[in-house]
């Protein structure tokens, strides 16, 4: 009797192996051959699900973005936090403050660097949208300082979060999670009434 394969489950497993490979080796070091070895498959089997390397990378990036969106959505639907608490928690949830978020950020940064290498913009991403959405959300709740330029401050907030993430990735012992939380708290306090 032929073995029944759940193709969606198999694709998810391949994406997980690719995620691990990117976190360990970077985007360039994560080849189809490397992913196939980790998944105990042949490169041809991987290509059945992902015809080329870029489709596999896009699937990995989509899975990271989905995780981030779900975390943020859970924060914004929570009734335990006020608007400012939601803004702070949303920013902290994308920073590498634990092992899971550290792996996500390693993949995120590797992918962003790879996109940059190919001459594509790296600013139109989930983090850019998050920063803009947070400031818009705070503005809708009448919590932003008067006459604050949302677009410019969104860029600044995005740069701050990127910088904190990169600093934590490259120097994990230099900045504590508490320091990062204090920096995010100060930035939100600077922006709000």
| CATH code where residue 95 lies | 1.10.357.10
Q: How many domains is the chain partitioned into structurally?
A: 1
> Domain range for residue 51?
7-191
Residue 99 forms part of a structural domain: yes
**Entry field: residues in the chain:** 193
pLDDT digits (tens, 9 = 90+) for 91-140: 999 999 998 888 888 887 777 766 655 555 444 578 889 999 999 999 99
Residue 2 forms part of a structural domain: no
pLDDT of residue 117: 58
C-alpha–C-alpha distance, residues 190 and 110, integer Å: 31
Single pTM value for the model: 0.80
């Amino acid at each position: 009797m032929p073995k029944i394969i759940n193709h969606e489950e198999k694709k998810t497993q391949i994406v997980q192996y690719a995620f691990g490979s990117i976190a360990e080796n970077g985007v360039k070091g994560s080849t189809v051959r490397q992913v196939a070895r980790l998944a105990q498959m042949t490169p041809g089997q991987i290509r059945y699900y992902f015809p080329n390397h870029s489709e596999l990378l896009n699937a990995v990036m989509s899975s990271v973005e989905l995780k981030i969106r779900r975390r943020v959505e859970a924060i914004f639907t929570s009734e335990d936090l006020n608007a400012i608490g939601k803004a702070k928690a949303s920013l902290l949830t994308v920073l590498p403050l634990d092992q899971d978020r550290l792996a996500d950020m390693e993949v995120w940064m590797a992918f962003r660097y790879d996109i940059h290498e190919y001459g594509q913009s790296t600013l139109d991403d989930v983090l850019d949208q998050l920063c803009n959405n947070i400031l818009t959300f705070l503005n809708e709740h009448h919590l932003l300082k008067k006459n604050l330029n949302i677009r410019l401050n969104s860029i600044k907030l995005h740069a701050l979060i990127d910088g904190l993430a990169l600093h934590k990735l490259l120097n994990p012992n230099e900045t504590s999670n508490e320091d990062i939380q204090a920096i995010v708290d100060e930035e939100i306090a600077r922006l709000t009434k």
